[in-house]
Chain A
Amino acid sequence: GAVVSQHPSWVICKSGTSVKIECRSLDFQATTMFWYRQFPKQSLMLMATSNEGSKATYEQGVEKDKFLINHASLTLSTLTVTSAHPEDSSFYICSARDWTANNEKLFFGSGTQLSVL
């Protein structure tokens, strides 16, 4: 299957700092990428839909000024957690949509564990 690379795998930061997470589709172009967050023992929660060259669409309750999403190319989307606080500690996962033969599949990155001290 297609490969989605997410970096870093884990990050520890101090409260008030910003953290950037990268998501790359390695062998296909992704006009649409999705960002999720996941708490322990819970399902993935969609945060936002990222479209190449346009503004991201955020889910209700997700602060767009807190979670900045940039999708400047067909293979890269970034999520920046600004002024991080301990309650932002979570597992963040990106996914990219791959269209093949008029059929689409979602492929996921390996996730980023964010710990805010």
Chain B
Amino acid sequence: LAKTTQPISMDSYEGQEVNITCSHNNIATNDYITWYQQFPSQGPRFIIQGYKTKVTNEVASLFIPADRKSSTLSLPRVSLSDTAVYYCLVGDKDPSGTYKYIFGTGTRLKVLA
């Protein structure tokens, strides 16, 4: 089972700021939160990663509250080319000790003109 929950889809207009929230209630102490963007027929592309508080890079910001049970990806001033599926990803250690990454549904963002 995925450790993350996100809205299935969102619509936005060009130039607006988009915030996508992900729930990860059972995140482990040493887990990082990573967000990816995926276009059709392509592999996921790394956007941003964080552990706590706020992280910003040239394309996005990531907000993580103190309890780390959720995170919010913020995309400033989206354009049509930001239409994609966005995934938040947290690691998971199964009973055998294998550390792996299970994807949730992702959020399908559609940017409208």
Contact = CB atoms under 8 A, between A and B. Distances in A.
Interface stretch (A12-20, A44-52, A70-78, A80-88): A44-52
A105 B43 contact: no
B27 to A, nearest CB: 15
A104 B93 CA distance: 14
B96 A57 contact: yes
Interface magnitude class on chain A: 20 to 34
Interface stretch (B17-25, B61-69, B70-78, B102-110): B102-110
A45 B98 CA distance: 16
Nearest to A4: B43
A57 B43 CA distance: 22
A44 B105 CA distance: 8
Contacts of A106: 34, 46, 89, 101
Contacts of B96: 57
Given A43-B87, A57-B96, A113-B41, A107 B103 contact: no
Interface string A97-114: 000000111111111010
Interface magnitude class on chain B: 20 to 34
A9 to B, nearest CB: 9
Contacts of B105: 43
Contacts of A111: 41-43
Contacts of B102: 46
A108 B43 contact: yes
A1 interface: yes
A34 interface: yes
Q: Which of B89, B101, B105 lies at the interface centre, i.e. has the most chain A CB atoms within 10 A of its CB? A: B101
B46 A107 contact: yes
A112 to B, nearest CB: 10
B13 interface: no
Contacts of A93: 43-44
A103 B32 contact: yes
Interface of A: 1, 4, 6, 32, 34, 36, 43-46, 49, 57, 91, 93, 95, 103-111, 113
Interface of B: 32, 34, 36, 41-46, 49, 87, 89, 91, 96, 98-106
